[in-house]
Structures are given as structure tokens and as C-alpha cells.
Amino acid sequence: MLETIYIVRHGYRSNWTVDPKTGTYATAVPTPTGIPSDPALASYGVAQSEQLATHLLSLDPAPEILVSSPYYRCLQTLAPYVTHLATPSDPKDPASASPVSVTVEPGIGEFYGRARFTHPGPASLEVLSTHFDHLRAEGEPIIVPAPYGESIPMLHDRVAYCLTRLIARADADPNGPKAILLCTHAAAIIAMGRVLTGRMPEEVGEEDFGCFTCGLSTFKRRGTVRPAGGVEASAATASDGLVAKWDPAQPDEVPDVGWRGGKGVRGGWECVGDSDCSFLDGGEERGWHFHMEAERIVHEQAKADAEAAAIPLPETPPTDTKAPATAADHDGSSPAKPKR
């Protein structure tokens, strides 16, 4: 049975822009996958990922399952760790390498706000496999974010549904894995903290969980939960709160798994490590929270109104002077770690 969940945000990345009127995404730096909103890590982020890999090798229990968002920056963040695992400890004995694979799961992918246009999705597994080794898909995706974006409540429900399925799958694994590592994005990390613990603040912008670049969060399972069986059997149990499987034909309709009110998913979890960056040379960097998204929306509306009235306004929201806030995972900085 799964006992520990590790969650890491990708490293510092390159930027992109989006025209909110047309939905056209652009980047000054070509991306490896050809998708403007799918940039690689910046050189600083690569260094962060290498420091992260060294730290991950010291974890106890060690992650036995690796799951990543399908975006390039997340897979690139895990790459140094995966390379370490796949390298034989004895050069003369290939069997001394650890068996390793990274499951690509869109359900823990990027958060884009609701829009009149469709947001670009990530590259296919086939394309990603030309850039990274040891990738795999676990059948069909558990859930895929809605193409026209999500509201913040939708994001939380999507993450809750995906985590419920991932944990149920691990609980049903005959190998009995104890720990799983997820690599994802800022907004998803905050939502994961909330759905695992079952604690949803009254104000969505409350700074409750941190999400610094390459920061590592750790969650431990509450008590003992007896799984009901395999993934499908478990998904139908009252303890999981699932009433139906997610239907790709209705991407906006996410089954409610009943995580609110302190319940959490699959018995609930406690946060014992919140976006730890003690192993990174630069410490805590590039934090983010939902109030930044709200400020971005207000600014964009004000900018549109000002353009109509020919009133000049700043090009970027006052809370983010480092990078354009095109999605929840922008690189705007937050100098202090959120208080919990």
C-alpha cells in the first residue's frame, strides 16, 4: 500500500506569451517540441534539476513509481534523476541498474484559465520519447484538462480525481510500492496539497501550500486504508467517492470524489514537507499562488478597457515583473514562502 507521496515542481523555465484576444501563443526561443507553451528549462533550471536529482537519491522511502506531467519542462526536471537510476552501479554488470520508467499523465498537467479559445496541449508520447528515455503511458489517460481551460474549482476536482486513480492503482499493484514521485506545475501542486489533506480554504487565494521551482513536498498517509481491489473496483467504492469514470466526450464534467471537509482522497494525507528547497543552491525561488491569477485577469480586463479608451497601462501586472503570466505556472517570483 502506498504510504508516501512526493511532489516536485519543475525547474526554472523559459517563457512564452499569449494574445488574450486571439489565443495565439508565441515564444522568442524555439521549443524542443515546437509548441510555444511547452518550453525547455532555462540553464538555471537545468542546474536546479541536477541538485534535485542528488537530493531525490537520498529519499527514504525511495520513490518506486515516477509520474510526470506531459510537458517538456517536467520531464526534463526528472531526467537527471532518471539517468542516475538507469546507470548501472557496476559498469561491468548492466543488471545493476535500477529498473526505471516514467508514466506520463495529463491529469497532473498544466492549469490554464477559462478562455474563448482552445489552449495548446502537450506533445504526444511519441514525440516526447524522441527527447527522453524510459517514458510510458498507463493505458488511456486518467483525465485530460478541458481544452477551453478550467476554473479554479475545476482544477481542484481534476487533480482530486487523478490522484484518486493514481493512488488506487498503486494500492492495487502486486509489487506493493510504498512511495510515488509526481512532477508537475505550480497550480497543480497547490491543488494537490488541498485535495490530499481535504483542506480547501474559504479564500482560494490563501497562501497555504508552497510551490517553488524544484521544491519538494512530502505527504504521508493517515492511518491505514484497506484498498477495495484493483483500480476499477476501487474507483467504484464509497470510500473513494467516485460516482463515475471521467468521460473524454464531456471533458468539463469531472466526477466528484468527495475530498472536501478534511476527508482528502483515499483516506487522507498529511503534509510533512512543504516545497522544501534546502538542497537547492538558490533556496526558495519563483513561488506562485492563485491570487496572482486573479490579479492577472483583472489587469488584462483593465488593459482591454484602456486600449479602447487609449489610456496607457503597464505591459505586465504589478505582481509579476519577471515574466508574462500566461498560465498558472508562470515564473513570477514570490519572495517569501507562504505561511501555513
Instruction: Considering only residues 327 and 155, tell me which one the structure prediction assigns the higher pLDDT.
Output: 155
Residue 327 placed within a domain: no
Residue 331 placed within a domain: no
Domain that holds residue 156: 4-309
Residue 160 placed within a domain: yes
Residue 319 placed within a domain: no
Q: Which of 72-86, 120-134, 188-202, 326-340 has the lowest mean pLDDT?
A: 326-340
Number of domains in the chain: 1
Label residue 32 by pLDDT band (50, 70, 90).
Answer: very high
Tell me whether strands 216-221 and 102-104 are parallel, antiparallel or unpaired. unpaired
Q: Which of 19-28, 46-55, 267-276 has the lowest mean pLDDT?
A: 19-28
Instruction: Supply the pLDDT for residue 240.
Output: 44
The domain spanning residue 254 has which CATH number? 3.40.50.1240
Instruction: Considering only residues 338 and 55, tell me which one the structure prediction assigns the higher pLDDT.
Output: 55
Q: What is the pLDDT of residues 94-149, one digit of tens each?
A: 877 888 999 999 999 999 999 999 999 999 999 999 999 999 998 899 999 999 99
Residue 124 placed within a domain: yes
Instruction: Supply the pLDDT for residue 340.
Output: 42
Residue 5 bridge partners (DSSP)? 180, 219
What is the DSSP-derived secondary structure letter of residue 177?
Answer: -
Instruction: Supply the pLDDT for residue 291.
Output: 82
Q: What is the pTM of this model?
A: 0.84
Q: Is 319 exposed, middle or buried (0-12, 13-18, 19+ CB in 10 A)?
A: middle
Residue 12 has pLDDT above 90, yes or no: yes
Instruction: Supply the pLDDT for residue 292.
Output: 74
| % of the chain residues with pLDDT over 90 | 72
Instruction: Supply the pLDDT for residue 244.
Output: 79
CB 217 within 8 A of CB 193: yes
CA 273 to chain centre: 16
Q: What is the pLDDT of residues 261-316, one digit of tens each?
A: 999 999 999 999 999 999 999 999 999 999 876 555 544 545 555 555 655 545 54
Residue 301 placed within a domain: yes
Residue 317 has pLDDT above 50, yes or no: no
CB 66 within 8 A of CB 135: no
Label residue 57 by pLDDT band (50, 70, 90).
Answer: very high
Instruction: Supply the pLDDT for residue 307.
Output: 55
Length of the chain: 340
Show the cell assigned to 99: 529498473
Show the cell assigned to 122: 502537450
Residue 325 placed within a domain: no
Residue 151 has pLDDT above 50, yes or no: yes
Residue 188 placed within a domain: yes
